[in-house]
Amino acid sequence: MGTRENQLMFGQDNRDRIHAVESSFGPSGKPLFEPGRVLIGEGRLMKMSRRGPQPKVFFLFNDVLVYGSIILNRRWHKKQKIIPLEDSQIEDLEDGIKMRNQWLIRTPRKSFYVAAASSEEKRAWIEHIEDCRSSLLRSGVCQTGSNFAKTWIPDRDSSVCMRCQEKFTVTQRRHHCRKCGFVVCGACSKQRAVIRHIHPTKWLRVCTMCHSGLATTEAQEGPRAQGGSTEKIGLDEDEVDGLSEEEEAEEQTEDHDPGTWMNSRMDPWSTYVYFKPEHSQPRI
C-alpha cells in the first residue's frame, strides 16, 4: 500500500476515533473534530482533587489535552475540560513515599497533579505532550503564555493561617488565595481581585498580602492598568455576596497537592493507548 493510501486510511481512522471521543461526552461536550487535528493517545490518569485522587479519562490531541470524569469506562464521560497545549506546562516530579509516577500540569486557569499507572506510561504521556507542544510552537501558529495558576498548598500542610497564624478549627475554615496559593483564614481573604489568566471577569479570593501588592502595582501603573493589566482589584467581602456561594462551591472541588495519595490500584482499562500517528502534522 502506497503512502497516499496509508494517509487516507489513517485520516479516516483518526476521524472515527475523534468522533467516538466526541460522542462519549454526549450533548454537553464541545465538538472536537477540526481540520488538522489528530488524536495522539488516550488513557486513564489519577487526578488529585480536594476530595482525593479521582480517576479521569485523558485524550491527547496534537494541539489540545482533553479530560473528563468517567461514568461508564470507555463509553460515557462528563465534565469535559479542554486545555490548549500552547497554554500548558509540564513539570516532572520524583516519586514520593506514597506517590508514584506523578507530574504537574500547569495552565493559566489551574494547575494540578496527575499520576499514571506505571513509570513507562508516565514517560509516554510526558514525551508525547511535550512533542506535540513543541511542534505547535515551532510551527509559529501559537505562542506560549507566561502566566500559570499557582498550585495550591494542601490543607494538611498548615494547621494555622499562613498570614495571621490563627489556628484553623471547625468554624475557622481554610481558604486558598488564588494569587499565591497559600492556605488562609476567612478574615485574611476577604478581598477579591480579577486575575485575568485564571478568569477574565470573575472576582477571585485573594489574601491580604496579595491584595496589598496588587493595589501598589495598580497605583504605580495608574490609568494604564485599567486597560492592559493582568489583574485588577477593588471589591471586598461585603460587595461580592452574589459570587460567594459559587466561589465556595468551586473551592470545595479545586485541585490540591497530592500529599494524601496512596498507591491506588488502577484497573487494566487505564493503560495508555498510543495511536502512532506517523502522518500527524501541526495545524496550519
The pTM score is: 0.67
Is residue 168's pLDDT more than 80? Answer: yes
Do 88 and 107 form a contact (C-beta atoms < 8 A)? Answer: yes
Q: Is 194 helix (H, G, I), strand (E, B) or coil?
A: strand
- Of 7-16, 76-85, 160-169, 220-229, the least confident: 220-229
Q: How many other CB atoms are found less than 10 A from the CB of residue 262?
A: 10
CATH 2.30.29.30 in the chain, residue ranges: 3-147+260-274
Residue 240's pLDDT band (cuts 50, 70, 90): very low
* Mean pLDDT of the 127-148 span: 79
Do 216 and 261 form a contact (C-beta atoms < 8 A)? Answer: no
Arithmetic mean of pLDDT over the chain? 78
Residue 111's pLDDT band (cuts 50, 70, 90): confident
Residue 150 DSSP label: P
Question: Quick one: pLDDT at residue 144?
Answer: 56
User: What is the enclosing helix (H) or strand (E) of 78?
Assistant: strand 76-84
pLDDT in tens, 244-270: 444 454 454 444 444 444 344 445 445
Q: Which grid cell is 278? A: 506517523
Q: Please return the burial class of 140, using the count of CB atoms within 10 Å of its CB with bins 0-12, 13-18 and 19+.
A: exposed
Residue 58's pLDDT band (cuts 50, 70, 90): very high
Assigned CATH class of 155-253: alpha beta
Q: How many helices (H) and strands (E) does the chain have?
A: 5, 13
Handedness of CA 135, 141, 146, 150 (dihedral sign): negative
Question: Quick one: pLDDT at residue 69?
Answer: 93
Long-range contacts of 65-74 (CB under 8 A, 24+ apart): 65/105, 65/129, 66/21, 66/32, 68/25, 68/29, 70/44, 73/267, 73/269, 74/24, 74/269
Higher pLDDT residue, 48 or 96?
48
Q: Which grid cell is 274? A: 498510543
Question: Quick one: pLDDT at residue 222?
Answer: 60
Query: In degrees, to the nearest 5, what angle opens at C-alpha 200 toward C-alphas 232 and 283?
Result: 135
CATH 3.30.40.10 in the chain, residue ranges: 155-253
What CATH architecture applies to the domain 3-147+260-274? Answer: Roll (2.30)
Question: Quick one: pLDDT at residue 153?
Answer: 76
Question: Quick one: pLDDT at residue 275?
Answer: 83
As a whole number of angstroms, the distance between CA 58 and CA 273 comes to 11
Higher pLDDT residue, 219 or 108?
108
Question: Quick one: pLDDT at residue 231?
Answer: 55
Q: Which grid cell is 221? A: 501603573
Higher pLDDT residue, 151 or 21?
21
Q: Phi, psi (5° rounding) for residue 111?
A: -125, 135
Q: Is 13 helix (H, G, I), strand (E, B) or coil?
A: helix
Task: Say which residues have a Cβ less than 8 Å from residue 252's Cβ, sequence separation at least 6.
Answer: 50
Is residue 186's pLDDT more than 90? Answer: yes
As a whole number of angstroms, the distance between CA 117 and CA 105 comes to 17
